[in-house]
């Protein structure tokens, strides 16, 4: 929802706003707009500002939307990090209800609302963070099939996307060098599309936060997880893991920072152009930071004693044989529900091919 420019709130007021997210629009900080085009945008976030997505993307966007240049265009921003306005599963509702104007939307967490958009998390596709983000954004532009079928009907549109790829099979005691090695193992999955990969290899899927994995592996409750070194390193899981694949392409995690269409339509052309350019910069920066975090995470896991199996070119076909039926099953099931999944697959594969060799710098 479009909001008039508001004066800065005191610390107690900000605390009250964070604690009472549903009352953000009714807070006592509101004042008359300085001009008809002045707007204060409320941005919700579910990631800490130390996360790679924030270091390269979100923080840059915040700085830009709170800059003097933004203020000269009548734009101001209020930012609420770490789920202060709601959980990841609530972000579409938060945007639709007007509690926030901008928020991260992750298809893996919102269940049936964005089933087709979950294609960005399927195994076998994303080779680097830039390709994953750019490809999904192609399908979310005004003519894109995901925007037309899922996002526009829900009153939201994409500003920029981020992809955390390099999902690998990470295990204790069981070394995975081919998909069949996971048969019978208890493997944590991220949910959504990733569950299909776990089921296909005959593993028992377990849903739990990554932060609980250290204890679960230590106790032998689970044998391992599908995850990216980008995330695993933060929890020092390398201390309890023994093995990991490298290059298996077992999926990704996609998050798209979205804006309410009602808010977007009420901005003037200059404001929209300014936010579009800032979003493109954020997307590029986030991809670069994710790739840097990937290298750092791999090195940390190696230092912690994890043994890696590098998937060779000869082995690639074996892993592709695993992911192809997973993708086909995903598409078939959604087509059975009347959703154009086959068209989404075709468009996404075209987009991935366009960007897959265009990798961000990760020195």
pLDDT, block means (10 residues), the chain with 363 residues? 43 40 36 65 90 90 97 97 90 95 93 91 92 97 97 97 94 93 91 80 87 92 92 86 93 95 96 98 96 93 94 89 89 96 97 79 46
Q: Where are the alpha helices (DSSP H) in 73-144?
A: 91-97, 129-138
Q: Which of 190, 227, 194, 196 is nearest to 209 (CA)?
A: 190
Note the pTM of the prediction, 2 decimals.
Answer: 0.85
Whether residue 20 is contained in a domain is answered as no
- Cα(258)–Cα(332) distance, integer angstroms: 28
243 in a structural domain: no
Helix, strand, coil shares, percent, the chain, to 5: 50, 15, 30
Residue 32: CB atoms within 10 A of its CB come to 8
pLDDT computed for residue 7 by the predictor: 38
What's the pLDDT at 29? 35
Q: Is residue 106 part of a domain?
A: yes
pLDDT on residue 37: 81
Q: In this structure, what CATH number is given to the domain that contains residue 99?
A: 3.40.190.170
Q: Which helix (H) or strand (E) element contains residue 303?
A: helix 269-303
In the prediction, which pLDDT does 320 show? 85
3-state class (DSSP) for residue 45: coil
pLDDT of residue 211: 82
Residue 333 resides in a domain:
no
- Domain assignment present for 60: yes
* 330 inside domain: no
Number of domains in the chain: 1
Is 132 inside any structural domain? yes
Q: Quick check: is 114 in a domain?
A: yes
Distances (CA, A) of 318 to 178, 248, 324: 7, 10, 10
In this structure, what is the dihedral angle of CA atoms 211, 215, 221, 224, given to the nearest 10 degrees?
A: 60
What range does the domain containing 295 cover? 39-164+251-302
């Amino acid at each position: 929802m479009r909001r008039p420019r508001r004066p800065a709130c005191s610390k107690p007021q900000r605390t009250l706003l964070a604690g009472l997210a549903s009352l953000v629009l009714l807070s006592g900080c509101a004042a008359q707009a300085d001009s008809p085009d002045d707007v204060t945008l409320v941005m919700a976030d579910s990631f800490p500002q130390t996360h790679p997505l924030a270091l390269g993307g979100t923080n840059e966007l915040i700085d830009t939307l709170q800059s003097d240049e933004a203020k000269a265009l009548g734009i101001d921003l209020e930012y609420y990090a770490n789920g202060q306005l709601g959980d990841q599963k609530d972000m579409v509702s938060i945007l639709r209800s007007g509690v926030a104007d901008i928020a991260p939307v992750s298809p893996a967490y919102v269940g049936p609302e964005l089933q087709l958009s979950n294609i960005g998390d399927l195994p076998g596709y994303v080779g680097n963070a830039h390709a994953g983000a750019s490809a999904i954004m192609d399908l979310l532009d005004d003519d894109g099939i995901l925007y037309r079928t899922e996002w526009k009907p829900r009153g939201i549109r994409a500003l920029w996307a981020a992809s955390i790829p390099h999902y690998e099979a990470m295990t204790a005691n069981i070394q995975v060098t081919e998909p069949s090695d996971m048969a019978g193992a208890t493997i944590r999955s991220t949910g959504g599309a990733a569950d299909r990969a776990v089921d296909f290899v005959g593993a028992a899927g377990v849903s739990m936060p990554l932060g609980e994995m250290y204890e679960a592996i230590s106790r032998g409750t689970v044998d391992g997880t599908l995850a990216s070194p980008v995330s695993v390193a933060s929890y020092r899981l390398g201390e309890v893991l023994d093995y990991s694949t490298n290059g298996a392409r077992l999926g990704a995690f996609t998050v798209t920072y979205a804006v309410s269409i009602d808010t977007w339509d009420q901005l003037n052309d200059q404001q929209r152009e300014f936010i579009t350019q800032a979003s493109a910069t954020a997307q590029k920066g986030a991809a670069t930071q994710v790739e840097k975090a990937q290298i750092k995470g791999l090195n940390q896991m190696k230092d912690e004693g994890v043994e890696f199996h590098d998937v060779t070119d000869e082995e690639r076909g074996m892993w592709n044989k695993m992911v192809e039926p997973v993708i086909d099953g995903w598409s078939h099931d959604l087509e059975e529900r009347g959703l154009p999944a086959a068209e989404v697959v075709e468009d996404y594969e075209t987009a991935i091919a366009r960007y897959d060799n265009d990798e961000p710098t990760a020195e």
